[in-house]
Chains A and B, each alone.
Chain A
């Protein structure tokens, strides 16, 4: 289960997380099911947070030279 969460995209994980929350909100789940929903939900939330945080700020520009294509930092003029 842990592996599966790791492979989810941010959006997939967020959707799954909302699903677990709905289970808890329904009030119809047994105590065991509620605890499971909570545990899974927490894992998914942590995964989402990680995805949010791992975004790295980078602004670059492509330059085509005779030798090929280069990537250089870009500054707005």
Chain B
């Protein structure tokens, strides 16, 4: 065997490596560590991974010229996918990968896409609480989009059985992982929405890694959920897993079993509620009736109702008492008036009497005077009244000789003729007229 020098070995290595087809362009995935940009501008780092407990690493370089094409910002810990070619450096005997392309891989890339979509859809208002519809209280039929095999559908059925035995469920089998999953789920939503009998839908999938659940971060699926006129409950993964599906649905359940609890109420509890409400209604009404009956009884016992004369008696007493006070009062008034009237009468009588007396006196005086002046009285004293032609002769001058005159005496009359007239007036005997 020929003895090689180091440089000879390195040259052979280099040749061998440049001849290997798989090293001319390969895609490799790993984690960046020892990232250090050099003063020359080139980036040096190590790419490592952990597989089956064994750590492996390889040196990498990203020359300055190639950096323009790279969108990713390399840093330690970042999971990346590289396109590179193998190279062997003869001076240092080092194998290095010369990187031409780099992008985030694995969870990193997925997560970035997830975050970006989340922001985009949120900006469209698709996650807004106002958008979320209220679930029906007692859905007549529940639609479930999940795998027909596995624990998820079984768990859902078990919980529903326990909670509300007479439930009505339609399973729409879908793929819940892998590339075909989003399309399958979208198709399921379509089928569900074509029907008129489903009142609520559950999209369910058990736990898994971020990548396993990534189908539920699909934009098409999110929009299909938004377009669904049936309310959707999202039950994907475990409690700590959040997917776009969770954000855009009308309700998120932390697990598929929790969804089953949210979708139907407990039959037992409802039945108990109804029964107790019924009993309470009855109890309350009976209580009311009883109370009113007691009131009525109590009032009926009152002496006023039992013996109506009771009322009268009271009144009668009052009346009597009033009367007792009334009569004396009246009497008093009457007496007063009476007395007053009497005195008035008395006064009147007195006045009248006095008046009468006075009148009588006047009359008496008048009569007496009249009598005294009466010619008849004069006649009774022996005088005679001379009349001529029925009129009294008061003056001698009225008489002429030969006049026929009537002489009225007290006891009767006589007629005479004037034979002689002698006037005393002048004291001389006037003509004596004689027939």
Contacts from A to B (Cβ < 8 Å): 9-11, 14, 17-18, 20-21, 24-25, 31, 34-35, 37-38, 41-42, 45, 48-49, 51-52, 55-64, 69, 71, 74, 76-77
Q: A11-B137, A55-B166, A59-B157 are in contact. Are A21 and B171 (CB under 8 A)?
A: no
Q: A25-B284, A57-B165, A71-B170 are in contact. Are A76 and B154 (CB under 8 A)?
A: yes
B401 contacts partner chain A, Cβ-Cβ < 8 Å: no
B123 contacts partner chain A, Cβ-Cβ < 8 Å: no
Residues in A with CB closer than 8 Å to B292 are: 31
Q: Least Cβ distance of A22 to chain B in Å?
A: 10
B92 contacts partner chain A, Cβ-Cβ < 8 Å: no
* Nearest opposing residue in chain B for A38, CB measure: B285
Ranked 9 nearest A-B pairs via Cβ: A11-B137, A24-B284, A55-B166, A38-B285, A61-B171, A10-B138, A58-B168, A57-B166, A41-B281
* Tally of B interface residues using CB under 8 Å: 36
Interface segment out of the listed B29-37, B41-49, B218-226, B269-277: B269-277
* Nearest opposing residue in chain B for A72, CB measure: B171
Contact of A60 among B154, B169, B274, B284 (CB under 8 A): B169
Cα of A49 to Cα of B277 in the assembled complex, Å: 12
B172 contacts partner chain A, Cβ-Cβ < 8 Å: yes
Residues in A with CB closer than 8 Å to B154 are: 76
Residues in B with CB closer than 8 Å to A38 are: 281-282, 284-285
Cα of A56 to Cα of B165 in the assembled complex, Å: 9
Cα of A31 to Cα of B352 in the assembled complex, Å: 83
Residues in A with CB closer than 8 Å to B171 are: 59-62, 74
A55:B278 contact, CB within 8 angstroms: no
Per-residue interface assignment for chain B, residues 140 to 162, with 1 indicating a CB less than 8 Å from any chain A CB and 0 otherwise: 11000000110001100100000
